[in-house]
Chain A
């Protein structure tokens, strides 16, 4: 057998996926209340269309898209709008959110009308449908899907890829999704390609998920879809868009360009399932699959969770003890964001919740850089993190930019491998933020 395709550099962290990879997806019981931030996606916040005290049905529109780069938001339960007020969201920024008190006597049976068959829709109508269904990229960035699939007139999509790599350690939600929703995964892809008309279709999966690969191939053969299931080498960050494109097509995405400039569109497998489910039943994006994991949990799981469920409920359900938690991470351990408390909700971009117990906190001493070059060998973007780190320590931000700071997509491989425990990617993040602010200041007229 030939070696699976991959990119150059990267790292091999322990994947810790054994905790949840064999846990079937289960639905978490409904919570008593839900909190739905109006901006869970990249772009403008949605505009509420409901009032305080109003009764809403599960799947009902509660906030509509504000302009093109924005999506709709729907009620995850039958219940009453409690309030619409500002709160501190998962990214640490204050924003408006709608809170809903669940109707405890409702059957929570969802009543939606399926949309017209996709084959009868025009491209523009299709785009409008997925925007109104609130569908965003479910890999973590939550970029509105309809924007990604609206290809500029002068471009054409020739290659369409689904990303099922799931290279972040600990996370298994995409793995379970591909295994348990294999039909929907591929069906969603075929629906999308009805409009995209790409010539080559790939589903990329890291080869540490042989069951998913097997299942996808079975379904593909059974249905006769012209899709190639591509096992990629298990290596972090294989699931990064650029690394995936390089692994499959053997070419690099030029700096500053988007995949569509090469005729490529990459989408997460979860997004494909969401689209397929919408066209099957008319259900908008009101729930998602999330891996809840960590060594300290009694029952790490893959859960189907309504958007807006408070993390407190989720952690309790998995047997987590609040006093034993040291770090609460949304997303994977390599790129996820920490949370200060359990008061934040699961949002559309939450692919995983990683709980680090007080007993396994990383505590590493920092030493001087010995220029061992491990970071250079790790960086998938072929940057020189050691040099960038030295510049950053001295505050030479502009020089960092010359050394291609903005090509860094913050995968964290450099910090992971650094034997001297130097916070490299953390420094780069700060430098980028600093440079952005300087630019903003210079561009605003006085």
Chain B
């Protein structure tokens, strides 16, 4: 007599899978790489490859099954987009390696980490190579095969090239008090990290990710609204220290960090209430660091600090179960 298989219900399953979500996120980065290529040249592609090679290496060395979920590829792709165009490729590779090894694997792998892995990698690079990571290239078109120090040899001082460093909209505001044209900000024709310059494109991708239910609206909207309100009020009080709202929202890594990093489900709160708190926290920290601290940009540290608060927020703010009101 034939015996049928035994399993516990449910016997239906949605089509969504974790590797599928990771792949889709990777695919949404293609337009950003495209526009980055358009403005900064081949460096965008080389940087992406270098960071991804670095990020999948620790998975390959430790546990090959970790490659299957594709999250390390995503980490590498994200990291490269947060780096300056003329960044040495070997440093990008190292950053990718640190992202996944220190940002994820030592915590216990996918889903176990406390901090966003790509930002852990970037924080490492920022403290290890502070000059390289703040050396910005101007957007000079796609025909450039290499930009800046891309080909620097590891651990040797790169030769200073003149005429290629430019000011980002944020540093221009912070150190020179000059504002950047809004059109340039929206289209991305400014200097900055590879993937964070084209505001309009990032916003469109954010909408797509929301419609596809890969990210929720709560964290990004809270960050953007809180930043807008804070900057609006502060600009009124300190007009020469705080820029106007559009410059604050559309410059630097704010949009990119908001859409791709702050929404990382692993390191952000689960409950809707907690997500609001997280978003407000990120926005307050961004404003504090950018306009009252020593650095021109604060998105990375703001998100990392709130990542640290996530377990606490999860503990404090819980979902109220049905029938317990």
- A residues with a Cβ closer than 8 A to B are 11, 13-14, 169, 242, 246, 252-257, 322-323, 325-329, 331, 333-341, 343, 354, 356, 361-362, 364-365, 367-374, 376, 380-384, 386-387, 404, 407, 410, 412, 415-417, 419-421, 423, 425-426, 429
Decide: B266 and A333 in contact? CB cutoff 8 A: no
Decide: B9 and A384 in contact? CB cutoff 8 A: no
If the complex has contacts A367-B69, A384-B318, A416-B12, are A326 and B5 also in contact, measured as CB distance less than 8 A?
yes
Kindly state whether residue B320 has any CB partner on chain A within 8 Å.
yes
Give every chain A residue within 8 A of B325 (Cβ-Cβ): 252, 254
Q: A254-B323, A334-B10, A340-B6 are in contact. List 4 more A-B contacts (CB 8 A).
A: A13-B12, A255-B324, A362-B12, A420-B17
Contact with A along B1-43 (1 / 0, CB 8 A): 1111111111111101111110000000000000000000000
Give the docked Cα–Cα distance between A334 and B11 (Å). Answer: 6
Counting contact residues on chain B (CB < 8 A from A), the size range is 35 or more
Decide: A13 and B14 in contact? CB cutoff 8 A: yes
If the complex has contacts A370-B265, A416-B14, A420-B18, are A383 and B7 also in contact, measured as CB distance less than 8 A?
no
If the complex has contacts A335-B9, A340-B6, A362-B11, are A417 and B16 also in contact, measured as CB distance less than 8 A?
yes
Decide: B17 and A323 in contact? CB cutoff 8 A: no
Can you list 24 A-B contacts (CB < 8 A)? A11-B14, A322-B2, A325-B2, A325-B4, A326-B4, A333-B10, A334-B10, A335-B9, A335-B10, A338-B4, A341-B4, A354-B11, A367-B69, A367-B110, A367-B111, A368-B18, A369-B111, A380-B322, A404-B321, A412-B9, A412-B10, A419-B16, A419-B20, A425-B10
Decide: A416 and B5 in contact? CB cutoff 8 A: no
Give every chain B residue within 8 A of A13 (Cβ-Cβ): 12, 14
If the complex has contacts A327-B11, A335-B9, A417-B16, are A252 and B323 also in contact, measured as CB distance less than 8 A?
yes
Kindly state whether residue B112 has any CB partner on chain A within 8 Å.
yes
Give the docked Cα–Cα distance between A230 and B266 (Å). Answer: 41
Kindly state whether residue B130 has any CB partner on chain A within 8 Å.
no
Kindly state whether residue B45 has any CB partner on chain A within 8 Å.
no
4 cross-chain pairs, A with B, having the tightest CB-CB distances, nearest first: A412-B10, A368-B111, A255-B323, A333-B11
Return B66 CB to nearest CB of chain A, in Å: 9
Give the docked Cα–Cα distance between A416 and B68 (Å). Answer: 21
Report which of B7, B14, B18, B324 forms a contact with A367, defined as CB distance below 8 A: B18
Q: What is the count of residue pairs linking A and B with beta-carbon distances less than 8 angstroms? A: 162
Decide: B270 and A381 in contact? CB cutoff 8 A: no
Kindly state whether residue B165 has any CB partner on chain A within 8 Å.
no
Decide: A384 and B271 in contact? CB cutoff 8 A: yes
If the complex has contacts A252-B325, A254-B323, are A376 and B14 also in contact, measured as CB distance less than 8 A?
no
Give the docked Cα–Cα distance between A328 and B111 (Å). Answer: 35
Report which of B9, B13, B14, B111 forms a contact with A371, defined as CB distance below 8 A: B111
Return A86 CB to nearest CB of chain B, in Å: 18
Return A89 CB to nearest CB of chain B, in Å: 15
Report which of B5, B13, B213 forms a contact with A364, defined as CB distance below 8 A: B13
Give the docked Cα–Cα distance between A419 and B68 (Å). Answer: 14
Kindly state whether residue B216 has any CB partner on chain A within 8 Å.
yes
Question: Which residue among A256, A327, A333, A367 has the maximum number of chain B CB atoms within 10 Å of its CB?
Answer: A367
Decide: B109 and A334 in contact? CB cutoff 8 A: no
Give the docked Cα–Cα distance between A339 and B319 (Å). Answer: 36
Decide: A367 and B271 in contact? CB cutoff 8 A: no
Decide: B69 and A381 in contact? CB cutoff 8 A: no
B22's nearest neighbour on chain A, judged by CB, is A370
Report which of A356, A372, A374, A419 forms a contact with B11, defined as CB distance below 8 A: A356
Return A388 CB to nearest CB of chain B, in Å: 11
Decide: A338 and B5 in contact? CB cutoff 8 A: yes
Return A68 CB to nearest CB of chain B, in Å: 28
Decide: A376 and B319 in contact? CB cutoff 8 A: yes
A407's nearest neighbour on chain B, judged by CB, is B321
Return A359 CB to nearest CB of chain B, in Å: 13
